Structure 1
Amino acid sequence: MPQDFLIIGGGVVGMAAAYGLARRGRRVAVLDEHDGSLRASRGNAGLVWVQGKGSGMPRYAELSLHSSEVWPEFAEELTARTGIDLEYERRGGVDLCFDAEQAEALQAEYRALYASTPALEAVRWSYLDREALLEHLPGLGERVHGGTWSPHDGHCNPLSLLRALYAACQSLGVDYRPATPASAIEATGAGFTVRTPGGTFTSERLILAAGLGGRQLAPALGLSGRVRPVRGQVLVTERLPQGGRLPSPQIRQTASGGYLIGDVLEEVGDDTGVTLETIHQLGERAVQIYPDLARARLVRTWGALRVMTPDGNPVYEASRRFPGAYNLSCHSGITLAAFHAEELAEAIDNDRLEAAYGDFSGARFDVQATG
C-alpha cells in the first residue's frame, strides 16, 4: 500500500513534519541518507531563538516568536511520549555586543523589525550594558560592551530533540528508512515514485526536507533548489560546574556542563572541516566573554553546514507543476520545530501550504533576480 506521504530527509525539519503528519493519522515514510551525509541537525548549537530572526521578512519573525511560545508544550509532549529529556530551558537569552558601534546597529535593527507588524509588538527585548548583564551572565568579561536581552529565547540539546522525534515517529508507525538516499523522483498519475539504492517507494504526496540535497532534487519537481552551505565551527569545553549563565549565539553552557562556543559564518562550499585560525578566534572571544574559561580544557571541535537560502529566510512551497509535492528548507529547524510539527504539518495535510504561507515560496528569488 502506498504511503500518504514520503518525506525525503531525516533531519529535524523532516522528522518534525513526519511527527506532525503521523500525529494526524497519516501514513508516512521517511527516506534518509547515510550518517556521513551533510547534516545540519547534528552540528548546530541548539538555540531556540527569536532575537533578530526575520530582518527583512517580518513574517519569519512572527513564526519564530510563535514557535518559541509553543516550544514548552512541544518539548513536554515529546518527553511524555518518549521518555527522552530534551534538556530544554527557556530563561531568556542574550546577543552580545563588543563595542558601541555594534550595539547601536543591533538596536536599530531590532527597533525597525519589531515595529514592522502589530504581531511583533509582543516581542520583549532590551539593551543592557555590561553591568546590567552581570545578573544574567555572572563573570562577564570587561571587554564586552553589553547585549540585547529577551525572555523569549532558550536552548535545548539538538541531538536529544532529533532522537525524541525519531522515537515519537516510530511509536506512531512512521516507516523510517536510514541509508536510503533518493536517487530519482518521478511524478505519476497516482502520486510519486522515488528510486533509491534500497528499492522503490511510492506515495500520494511527497515532501522534500533534504537540506542541501534539495539543490539536486527540487528543480525537477518545479521547486526551488536555491540553497547553499554556510559553515559554522564549534568548540566544546570540558564539563564545568553550572554557572547560571543565559545562552547566547556566541556561547552557551549545556546541561552536561560543557560550553559550546561558535557563531561564525563561512562561505567555503561543502567543506565541513575546522581551521586553526577560526578555532583560535573562537577561543579568544570566549575568554573575552568569560575570562574564567581561560583555564578550561577544550575536548573537541567540529564544522557543520547551515542550509542557507539566498535571503536567509525559510522556504515553504507547493509545486504547481506537480501537485502534491512540497519543499521545506530553512536553517532554523530547531527554533521552528514546534511550528513545523503543528501548523505547518496541518497546512501540508490540508494542501493549504501555498494559501497559508505563499510568501515563503522560493518563487520570490526569481522575482528578486528579475526586479
Structure 2
Amino acid sequence: MTSDILVIGGGTVGAAIGYGLAQRHQKVTVLDGGDRDYRAARANFGLVWIQGKGANMPEYQLWSQRSAELWGNFSAKLQNLSGRDLQLEQNGGFVFSLSETEFEARRTALQKLHNELGGSADWEMVDRSRLERMNPGVTFGPDVYGASFGHQDGHVNPLFLLSALHAGIERLGGKIVSSTQAEKIRSDGAGFAVETQTNTFRASRIVIAAGLSSQGLGAQVGLDVPLRPQRGQILVTERLTPVLPFPASGLRQTQEGTVMIGATNEDVGYNVTTTGAGAAKLSARALRIIPALSNVTLVRQWAGLRVLSPDNCPIYAQSETHPGAFIAVCHSGITLAAIHAEIIAQAVLDGALPPTLEVFHQRRFNVSKAA
C-alpha cells in the first residue's frame, strides 16, 4: 500500500487535491472514510460563491475570486475526463434584502470589503424594480426590498462534483480506498505510515483533508488546527417548472427543478439531527421572499456539519516538525475546489506552500507566536 502522496479524506477538499495531484502524474491514494463520518461534502448547498467572503480577511476574498475564475476551465476538463455533467452555472447570484435597513447594511459591508481590496467591483446593489426584471417568472413578497448581485457567483451539483473528482482520480491512475478511516500516523525515514483498522498505507508525503477529523490527525504530526462544527439544515422541495434563473444565498433551483432552501447556522456540537424549529425558520424566510412556495411540497430535509476555524477562513499548512505532512481544511470546498486542484496540489508536489498562503497558516490563532 505505497503511494507517492496519500490524501486522508475523500470529501470535496481531499478529492480536489487528489485529482490535481493525479493530473500531475503522481501515484495518489485517497482514503475515504465510512458512511457514519460527518460528511460535509454530501450535505452541501452547492454554491460557487465569492460575494461578501473575507469580511475579516480580505485575502480570503482574493483566494475565492481566483478559484471562481478557474472554475470554468476546471469544470470543462473534469467533465471531459469523468463523463459527468457538473451542472455548473456562473451567471451571477443574489443575496436578498427584506428591508431597506438590510439593503443598506449589505451595501456598506460589501463597499467596506471593496475599499480594502481596491480594483473593480464584482458586485452591485439591485433595487426591487430591477430585481423583478431579472427574475420575470417570480412574484416576490412585499418585504423584498432588493438584493446584492455578485457577477461571478454561481452554483453546481455538489454530489456530481464529488463523483466526478473520484472518477477523475481513478481514470488518471489514482486510487480511492472507501470505508477506510485513518487512525494513526507515523513518520519514518521513508516518509509516513498511516494505519487504519485493517491496513497500513505508506507515502513520502501526506495531505490531511479529513474535515473535522483533521484536528485529531493533524495533532499527530505537529499540526494543531483549531476547528469547530456548525450544523446547517437544508430543505428541498418537489420538482417545479424552472422559475429561478439565478441562485441566491439560501435559495436556489437545481437543474432537476427542485428548490433548495437553506441554511441554518447552529452551534450544537456534533449533532446532525434535523429539527422542526430549523425547518420553520428556513421556511419563514423563504416564504417572505417567494410567497408562492407555500403551495409547494417539501420532500426532504437534511443537516450537515460545517468545518469552521475560529475566523471561518481556510487553514493551509505544512508541519514544521514533520516536513511532508500538509493540512487543508475549509468550509468552502465547492468554491475552492478549482484552486485546490491547481495551487494546493502543485504546492504539495513542490514540497512547500507559496508565501502568499502564509496568511492561512494556523499560527494566526496563536497570538504569542504571531507577535
Whether TM exceeds 0.5 here: the answer is yes
Which structure 2 residues correspond to residues 256-335 of structure 1 after superposition, within 5 A?
256-335=256-335
Q: Match for 2:111: what amino acid?
A: R
Query: Residues 252-290 of structure 1, C-alpha deviation per residue, up to 9 Å, x if partnerless?
Result: 000100000002210000011111011011112111111
Question: SS at the partner of 1:222?
Answer: coil
Moved more, 31-40 or 99-108: 99-108
Aligned to 1:21: 21
For 1:332 and 1:369, locate their aligned partners in 2 and report how far apart those are by CA, in whole Å.
27
For 1:122 and 1:164, locate their aligned partners in 2 and report how far apart those are by CA, in whole Å.
34
Query: Residues 277-310 of structure 1, C-alpha deviation per residue, up to 9 Å, x if partnerless?
Result: 1101111211111111111000010000100000
Question: SS at the partner of 1:266?
Answer: coil
For 1:135 and 1:72, locate their aligned partners in 2 and report how far apart those are by CA, in whole Å.
27
Aligned to 1:43: 43
Moved more, 231-240 or 126-135: 126-135
Question: Is the 2:363–2:370 Cα contact (8 Å) retained in structure 1?
Answer: no
* One of 126, 129, 141 as aligned partner of 1:128: 126
Q: Give the root-mean-square deviation of aligned CA atoms.
A: 1.5
Question: Is the 2:15–2:165 Cα contact (8 Å) retained in structure 1?
Answer: yes
**Is 2:80 the counterpart of 1:80?**
yes
Moved more, 90-99 or 202-211: 90-99
Q: Displacement, 1:2?
A: 2.7
Q: Match for 1:3: what amino acid?
A: S
Aligned to 2:11: 11
Q: Displacement, 1:181?
A: 0.3
Question: SS at the partner of 1:41?
Answer: helix
**Is 2:185 the counterpart of 1:185?**
yes
What TM-score do you get using the length of structure 2 for normalisation?
Answer: 0.96
Q: Displacement, 1:370?
A: 8.2
**Is 2:175 the counterpart of 1:175?**
yes
Q: Displacement, 1:100?
A: 2.1
Aligned to 2:237: 237
Question: SS at the partner of 1:284?
Answer: helix
Q: Displacement, 1:90?
A: 1.1
Query: Residues 121-176 of structure 1, C-alpha deviation per residue, up to 9 Å, x if partnerless?
Result: 23421111222211233322221121101110000000000000010001011111
Moved more, 93-102 or 325-334: 93-102
Question: Is the 1:6–1:29 Cα contact (8 Å) retained in structure 2?
Answer: yes
Q: Match for 2:323: what amino acid?
A: P
For 1:250 and 1:267, locate their aligned partners in 2 and report how far apart those are by CA, in whole Å.
18
Question: Is the 2:363–2:369 Cα contact (8 Å) retained in structure 1?
Answer: no
Aligned to 2:364: 364
Q: Displacement, 1:117?
A: 2.5
Q: Match for 2:7: what amino acid?
A: I
Question: Is the 1:130–1:142 Cα contact (8 Å) retained in structure 2?
Answer: no
Question: Is the 2:92–2:246 Cα contact (8 Å) retained in structure 1?
Answer: yes
Question: SS at the partner of 2:367?
Answer: helix
Long gaps (5+) in structure 2: none
Question: SS at the partner of 1:135?
Answer: helix
For 2:164 and 2:133, locate their aligned partners in 1 and report how far apart those are by CA, in whole Å.
33
Question: Is the 1:53–1:61 Cα contact (8 Å) retained in structure 2?
Answer: yes
Question: Is the 1:347–1:353 Cα contact (8 Å) retained in structure 2?
Answer: yes
Structure 1 residues 287 and 270: CA distance shift in structure 2, 3 A: same
For 1:318 and 1:312, locate their aligned partners in 2 and report how far apart those are by CA, in whole Å.
20
Aligned to 2:107: 107
Question: Is the 1:93–1:153 Cα contact (8 Å) retained in structure 2?
Answer: yes
For 2:304 and 2:134, locate their aligned partners in 1 and report how far apart those are by CA, in whole Å.
29
Query: Residues 5-51 of structure 1, C-alpha deviation per residue, up to 9 Å, x if partnerless?
Result: 11100000000000001100111111111022101101011000010
Aligned to 1:149: 149
For 2:143 and 2:355, locate their aligned partners in 1 and report how far apart those are by CA, in whole Å.
49
Q: Displacement, 1:354?
A: 5.2
Query: Residues 178-198 of structure 1, C-alpha deviation per residue, up to 9 Å, x if partnerless?
Result: 111011001112110000012
Moved more, 347-356 or 147-156: 347-356
For 2:299 and 2:369, locate their aligned partners in 1 and report how far apart those are by CA, in whole Å.
45
Long gaps (5+) in structure 1: none
Query: Residues 285-338 of structure 1, C-alpha deviation per residue, up to 9 Å, x if partnerless?
Result: 111111111110000100001000000000011110100000100000000000
Question: Is the 2:364–2:370 Cα contact (8 Å) retained in structure 1?
Answer: no
Moved more, 275-284 or 352-361: 352-361
For 2:61 and 2:132, locate their aligned partners in 1 and report how far apart those are by CA, in whole Å.
28
Q: Identity, % of aligned pairs?
A: 41
Runs (4+) of structure 1 exceeding 4 A deviation are: 368-371
Aligned to 1:89: 89
Q: Match for 2:132: what amino acid?
A: L
Structure 1 residues 340 and 123: CA distance shift in structure 2, 3 A: farther
Question: SS at the partner of 2:333?
Answer: coil
